[in-house]
Structure 1
Amino acid sequence: MKYSRLLGAFATALTLLAFIPLSANATDDVLRVGTDATFPPMEFIKDGQRTGFDVELIEALGKQMNKKVEWIDIGFKGLIPGLISKRFDVAASAIYMTDERRKVVDFTDSYFRGGLAVLVLKDDKTINSPADLVAGKKVSAQVGTKSIAYLQEHYPGVKVVEVEKNQAMFDLLTINRVNAAVTGRPAAAEFARVEPRVRVLDEGLTTELYGFAMRKGDTDLAVQMNAALQTLRGNGEYAALSEKWFGAQE
């Protein structure tokens, strides 16, 4: 598998891990959270403020834990290295709980089920299912995400066009520079909602679980966050956020 860019980030993370004590925890009253706020409806900037499902969920978790949330903005590919180098305590950015990532970070319990989806132009009748991603097709995907490695392994004939930001991936599709874009289904559905020229294929590529990432061995923080998440599920706050951002579907 052509994991060069993705595994490069993991290699960096592993190197950092060797020099960092495993007992590092968030301070008593502050929870520092790293995010790449370019992925609506999960995390994005609106009117100069961070918002989205992940953002509001983290804020609710912080309140349950009696911690003030301090946000740190960082590109997606820098989330795991930044987490391990102690720039922040938690990474919250629609992160899939993959086996590769579990090698270098721990996760909370899963808080959302999603997966990779394919976006195409509505008037493109040549791509109606993932099976139509054949040799010669160009597909945009964001660096540091599972999308790139998945496409390279399962669709080796397509040309993967790597971009730094989610919006750039969408822009390439709308100006017809690529034939498709692959990203998480929540972001794909949100973009299709506001951009009438595109559609999301009904058939997805994968089913994934999202989790909030923490440094290896930070068990106290994991216990606190999981307990807070369970409380939010029990008191209706999680359901309210889900309905607000996804129409009451988890």
Structure 2
Amino acid sequence: MKKKSCIAMIVASVMSVALLVGCGAKNENKKYVIATDAKFAPFSFEENGTYKGIDVEILDAIAKEEGFEYELKPMDFNGIIPGLTSNQLDGAISAMSITDERKKALDFSDPYFESGLSIVTNRNNVAINGESDIKGKSVSVKKGTAGAKFAEDNKDKYGLQLNYFEDSPSMFQAVENGNTDFALEDYPVIGYKIKVDGNSKLKMVGNKVDISNYGFAVNKNQNKDLLKKFNDGLKKLKDSGKYDEIVNQYISK
């Protein structure tokens, strides 16, 4: 009986080890679901059926550097944070500003891009030349963004009329058509649009109204391994010069 019991214990131990190894391998080979903004050039946008841009290419370079697989999930920015907090997404790289409010629900990587908000008007608008001229004006903002937050925080101060949009193209269109007086957008985004779109009726005016840093985001206290991989890979990209190579394709210094 003792001999049979020993054999049974050995078999059970071997099976336990095998299960642990299997679980470890499964976790190691996990394919992360990572969101990006579907319409936010030059950080993420679709061209000829393929997504490209600063965010998309930084993520891909880091994944190759750190050896992990991912599924890119382009979506409206407004749905990204709920997707992270409900664990439907493992991470997000979507030109997301690192804010104290967002840190309550999310963990962020080291900053990977310094940005800031610019005032955007129709190029024929001569009434708005900076922040001091936006009193009593109507503003276009994209839901859930730093621009929306700035407008909401300063609504009473400037007597702003807020108009919400799901994506940047719709927001810009409202300004071009004269339906709103100005928009608040991250300066590299509007700078890129004006540079590549010869038919654009937009212009940036005045100084940036706010400075912010973009970060890769995961749910609070979740996916710490993915966050570490992103930070490690980002450092390697910057050290090798690959980071500057990616950014300089889209934004001139």
More helix by share: 2
| Structure 2: stretches of 5+ with no match in the other structure | 1-25
- Inter-partner Cα distance in structure 1 for 2:155 and 2:193: 24
- 1:206 is paired with a residue whose SS is strand
Residue aligning to 1:235: 240
- Inter-partner Cα distance in structure 2 for 1:161 and 1:89: 31
Residue aligning to 1:213: 217
- 1:204 is paired with a residue whose SS is strand
- 1:74–1:131 distance in 2 versus 1, CA, 3 Å: same
- 1:162–1:26 distance in 2 versus 1, CA, 3 Å: farther
- Taking the TM superposition and a 5 Å limit, the aligned residue runs for 1:139-154 are 139-154=139-154
Question: How many aligned positions are there?
Answer: 223
Which one of the candidate residues 173, 187, 190 is aligned to 2:189? Answer: 187
Contact 1:141 1:162 in 2 (8 A): yes
Q: CA RMSD, aligned part only?
A: 1.6
Q: Scaled by the length of structure 2, what TM-score is found?
A: 0.84
- 1:50 is paired with a residue whose SS is strand
Q: Report sequence identity in percent.
A: 28
- Inter-partner Cα distance in structure 2 for 1:120 and 1:129: 10
TM superposition shift of 1:153: 1.9
- 2:250 is paired with a residue whose SS is helix
| Structure 1: stretches of 5+ with no match in the other structure | 1-24
- Inter-partner Cα distance in structure 2 for 1:129 and 1:196: 20
Contact 1:114 1:184 in 2 (8 A): yes
Which one of the candidate residues 132, 138, 161 is aligned to 1:159? Answer: 161
Contact 2:192 2:250 in 1 (8 A): no
Contact 1:31 1:62 in 2 (8 A): no
- 1:101–1:26 distance in 2 versus 1, CA, 3 Å: farther
Question: Whose radius of gyration is greater, 1 or 2?
Answer: 2
Q: Scaled by the length of structure 1, what TM-score is found?
A: 0.85
- Inter-partner Cα distance in structure 1 for 2:167 and 2:30: 32
TM superposition shift of 1:165: 1.1
Write the letter of the residue equivalent to 2:99: T
